[in-house]
Structure formats: structure tokens, C-alpha cells
Structure 1
Amino acid sequence: MNPEILDQEGYTSVAAGEAPVRELFPGIRLRRLWRGPSGAHADLLEMDPGTSWPRRDVHEPGPEEVYVVRGTFHDGAREYPAGTFLHAPAGSWHVPNSPTGCTLFLFYPEG
């Protein structure tokens, strides 16, 4: 064991179920897992079955990295099952929805 690992500045962990939750839209919740000093952040997005973003989700100021943890995610063009990774470059957009419900891991390297 190397307990000094946990003493490193910025080294952190959080149990997903204990992360603060915020409802973005009815049936769509965001759990902030981490936020860095430069604004980068990592989140879990939980979508109940049949939920949809009410408008385009534009990726600004930087890209969005998405990993489908559970369920099926639909970006408005096609479906992505659990285990799928998506990279959405800065300035791109999609209309998130989920017919079956899903959990997504999101990373925003530029905030």
C-alpha cells in the first residue's frame, strides 16, 4: 500500500451516488464528480426513459467527451448502447434523448 498517493494535491475521489445532484430538465439529472481549477469538469448525466433535451445542446467553449455507462443514448441522429464513446468537438451540437433511460459519463476538458 502507498497511502501517500492520497496526499497528493488535487488527487480526489467521489462515490457517484454521493455526488451532489441537480435536475437540469424533468427526468434529466446532473451529478458533478469533479471540477478542476481551470474549469474542466467531469459529470454523470442520468436520463429517465423517454426524456429529451428541450433544445440543441451546443458544445462551447470546448469539446464534450461522452461514455455511455448504462442504457441507450440517442443524440438526435442515432442510438448508442452502453460501452460507446463519443467525441463532440467544440461548436458541434446534438439533441440528447433516451428512449430507455441512460447514464452517461461526461468530461469537458475546457469547461
Structure 2
Amino acid sequence: MPLPGFTITSIDDVPAMAVTSLITVKTIKEPTPDDPSVIQWYRMAPNATAGEDLHHESEHLYILEGEFHDGDRAWPAGSRISGKRGSVHYPSSKLGCTFLAFFPNGLGKAD
């Protein structure tokens, strides 16, 4: 049992959803009325591409394994990438990668 005020989730217990045939996501933490933040785990297979990704809120990525490409350059495991609200990148991975995405203010909505 976790300490009072804490929630514990195992990534193994979270169902994966297909974003594309080569990209899967697991939402580890959903937003709540008291805390809009979202945490997601992504796996990109080799040669995966997601197209344009416009950020309606800020996003922080931490590359766990492999190599993540943002449309400009490749980032190896251990890299942290932060995108401001309104920024755009083009996620892809030639080699494949796994990363965590943290949205402190939630996912936002298209205007």
C-alpha cells in the first residue's frame, strides 16, 4: 500500500493504444480537475514517423531507449527535450525508441 497521498502505477498494468501501426502510447497519469498534468509512455518502432506535432501546451520528453528524431536532429537515450506552447516538431525514429512525455498543463486543445 502506498503512502497516504501517493498513487503508484506499473507501466506493465497500463494498456497500450496504437497511435499508428509503428507507434504505441500508454497514458500513465490522466488529468484530474485538481491536477491537469498528463504523463505518457511512447514506443516508436524503427522507421516510425508521426508527422507534424503542434503543441497546445508545453511538453517535456525524456528519451529512455533508442534514438528520437525531432525533425531537425536525432537525440539519444538520456536526452531531455522541452517544447513550449505553440512549438512544432516532427517526431520520428529511424532506429526505434522509447520515451516518457510529460505535459504539466495537460494536453490542451486545438484553437
Which residue number in structure 1 is paired with residue 8 of structure 2? 13
Aligned length: 104
Shift of 1:23: 0.3
Q: Distance in 2 between the 1:56 and 1:19 partners?
A: 26
Task: Tell me which residue corresponds to 1:71.
Answer: 66
Normalising by structure 2, we get a TM-score of 0.88
What corresponds to 1:23 in structure 2? Answer: 18
Computed over aligned residues only, the root mean square deviation of the Cα atoms, in angstroms, reads 1.3
Give the partner amino acid of 1:47: M
Q: Is 1:91 equivalent to 2:86 in the alignment?
A: yes
Q: Which amino acid aligns with 1:46?
A: R
Higher-Rg member (1/2): 1
Q: Which runs of 5+ in 1 are unaligned?
A: none
Distance 1:75 1:85 in 2: 12
TM-score (ref. length: structure 1): 0.88
Structure (1 or 2) with the greater helix fraction? 1
Q: Percent identity?
A: 28
Kindly state the Cα deviation for residue 17 of structure 1 after the two structures are TM-superposed: 2.1
Matched, 1:33 2:28: yes
Once the 2 structures are TM-superposed, how far is the Cα of residue 8 of structure 1 from its aligned partner?
2.0
Q: Equivalents in 2 of 1:57, 1:96: separation in Å?
A: 7
